[in-house]
Structure 1
């Protein structure tokens, strides 16, 4: 580790124990959720519906892992797909520069596969018209349907490094089924990121019109999943770094 990296690690260790910081963050988080703060951000023209902190965390993970394939459940407006595709494009460009080759943008090495039960026509049209579209594949259907799981596993064959992002239906049963279907596709030292674990930490009244809430959400699914495997561990250093995140305890690193 460099001196700067050691200093950063020490800051994160201190942040993890800073109860005043945690209280301030929780208060700000609650107000941002009430005001739909995360709906205000776009990536290359498409709504991304994420906190900037989580966007930064995903950028760091993609750069560190350098995946050949990213699998993401939940597409919505496509901003997250386009964000991750743009990160993969940068990796391909860096590879070409290091090798002294000319990068052919029409033949991307790295790709992202998005799955959603309902890809609305106007969103599909916007995604397919985007400059990053050549790196994006989409499957319409339930992410836990056997035929969709089979398609995803077929698409993953041959990929050496895979990163998984789960951000669709946020009920316990659905997320646990996604983890059981896709977590094992995650490469060792890569990540399976489970979004919206923050639901467990919110007041139950904040989700009156949703099928998920306290006791029934992505975090409870993560807890149940980790009881069945020792292949993953929660990367709490990411929680300490971000403070503001919709995925506390949701950054799962595959360790074996």
Structure 2
């Protein structure tokens, strides 16, 4: 066994141990509940743009992008654009590392890999900031509901020809909307890749933290995930990611396509 193999085995044991530690998992849920009123996820930026994500989840996404090497990342929900910029920068690293290995020079104005963001309301100041960002050539945006059949058809047309696709869902968090997104975009996910459903943590939060919103107990991304999996055996929850992260807005939300 090489030193690298030994380290990988050690990490696997660490993650398995985390998966068995019910007390720690409960503590992680308590921490998430207590930090939620402070809007902790609002405090982080990626390359200058607010990302509104937990750093743990961003790190997990980075690992998946490196392993999957997607040609296209589809994201529903844009907000300030930090997540789009994050994904675009990860794809840029892939393109440039592969070009370097081949001894090629890339034209930054014509990137190989891209990110496609969909949002029902792309506010003008956010659009301007994203379109003026250095990662802008790698980012396309569509304004409209992510479950509107016309929007879904446009996304499918843009995804045509992409060999490896990864999808991130982070828009309207009601059961029906997320389930509609899963049904619409899961077929685009390539085998071995993922569809990540964010804010499944809503199911674990007290109603007082939800506020006057149309989602909550009984109608949230996690209930949509469970309903989707009942009729889609080609997707499974990657529990290893949950065990590894402990603190995440997407528990049971990392869905891997196995067939």
TM-score, length of structure 2 as denominator length: 0.97
2:242 is matched with which residue? 239
Partner SS state of residue 180, structure 1: helix
Q: Provide the C-alpha distance between the structure 2 equivalents of 1:220 and 1:91, rounded to a whole number of angstroms.
A: 34
2:231 is matched with which residue? 228
RMSD: 0.8
1:39-50 matched pairs, under 5 angstroms: 39-50=42-53
Q: Deviations over 1:64-110 (max 9, x none)?
A: 00000000000000000000000000000011011111122111000
Partner SS state of residue 137, structure 2: helix
Identify which of 41, 51, 65 aligns with 2:54: 51
1:206 is matched with which residue? 209
1:133 is matched with which residue? 136
1:68 is matched with which residue? 71
Q: Provide the C-alpha distance between the structure 1 equivalents of 2:232 and 2:193, rounded to a whole number of angstroms.
A: 16
Q: Provide the C-alpha distance between the structure 2 equivalents of 1:97 and 1:21, rounded to a whole number of angstroms.
A: 43
- 2:21 aligned with 1:18: yes
Q: Deviations over 1:173-204 (max 9, x none)?
A: 00000000001100000000000000001112
Q: Provide the C-alpha distance between the structure 1 equivalents of 2:128 and 2:194, rounded to a whole number of angstroms.
A: 30
2:186 is matched with which residue? 183
- Give 1:27 shift: 1.8
- Give 1:23 shift: 2.5
- Give 1:20 shift: 2.4
> Contact 1:32/1:38 (CA < 8 Å) preserved in 2?
no
1:115 is matched with which residue? 118
1:146 is matched with which residue? 149
1:162 is matched with which residue? 165
Partner SS state of residue 166, structure 2: strand
Could you tell which deviates more after superposition, 97-106 or 181-190? Answer: 97-106
Aligned residue-pair number: 256
Q: Provide the C-alpha distance between the structure 1 equivalents of 2:46 and 2:255, rounded to a whole number of angstroms.
A: 24
Partner SS state of residue 219, structure 2: coil
Partner SS state of residue 192, structure 1: strand
- Give 1:46 shift: 0.5
TM-score, length of structure 1 as denominator length: 0.99
Q: Show structure 1 runs of 4+ deviating over 6 A.
A: none
Q: Provide the C-alpha distance between the structure 1 equivalents of 2:30 and 2:45, rounded to a whole number of angstroms.
A: 24
Unaligned runs of 5+ in 2: none
Q: Provide the C-alpha distance between the structure 2 equivalents of 1:100 and 1:25, rounded to a whole number of angstroms.
A: 46
Q: Deviations over 1:140-161 (max 9, x none)?
A: 0000001100000000000000
> Contact 1:191/1:253 (CA < 8 Å) preserved in 2?
yes
2:107 is matched with which residue? 104
